[in-house]
Chains A and B, each alone.
Chain A
Amino acid sequence: EAGVAQSPRYKIIEKRQSVAFWCNPISGHATLYWYQQILGQGPKLLIQFQNNGVVDDSQLPKDRFSAERLKGVDSTLKIQPAKLEDSAVYLCASSLIGLAGAGDTQYFGPGTRLTVL
């Protein structure tokens, strides 16, 4: 079974530029998550999709971050314009169901390491 795929693996941009990340979840997984992991910290949830609908985006900085999951499969996360503090690893994860207490495991992709200069 193929895992969660992400691209690119690395990206270096200057502040105020735009950047987009792509994620392809495990086939058949209804729920997709984007996390931001700043160096030395645990991952922080940015947005959660159930199929193609948003379940939780309370921690997404909506003035500069946007995400979509068209057709309930692949997803893109965009930052426009980027700031220095956006330097982090952006992790995508997927799970089969995504319901609390359902015994659902999240499977993580390899991440995209973003450096903003």
Chain B
Amino acid sequence: GIQVEQSPPDLILQEGANSTLRCNFSDSVNNLQWFHQNPWGQLINLFYIPSGTKQNGRLSATTVATERYSLLYISSSKTTDSGVYFCAVENTDKLIFGTGTRLQVFP
């Protein structure tokens, strides 16, 4: 089956710093989404981005489908950005989640 790998696995930042999270996938996909799971376990959809670039406030994402990777950029990070970031790819109507990047932002 399709493999989804994320890097780095862990990231520690000071408030105000910028970061880039990467998602690599092993096969062509119909869809790619980025999720944030907050420290209380709630999963929130950030972007639906099968290709191209999207921006939402301090967050932006780029997917290069032909090269099978996606990047999530977080600028001017805040403590509320802490949690785990997952990318998930859709293959045959099923979402396959990556391994996640655990982000901790300290004041």
Give A residues with C-beta under 8 Å from B: 33, 41-45, 48, 55-56, 89, 91, 93, 98-101, 103, 105-108, 110-111, 113
Contacts and interface: CB of A to CB of B under 8 A. Distances in A.
Contacts of A107: 45
Contact of B95 (A45, A89, A103, A110): A45
Interface of B: 4, 30-31, 33, 35, 40-45, 48, 50, 86, 88, 90-95, 97-100
A100 B45 contact: no
B41 A99 contact: no
Nearest to A40: B100
A44 B86 CA distance: 12
Given A105-B45, A105-B48, A110-B41, A56 B95 contact: no
A43 B93 contact: no
Contacts of B86: 42-43
Contact of A101 (B4, B44, B45, B50): B50
Contacts of A48: 93-94
A42 B99 contact: yes
A60 to B, nearest CB: 13
Given A91-B43, A110-B40, 5 more contacts: A44-B97, A56-B93, A101-B90, A105-B45, A106-B33
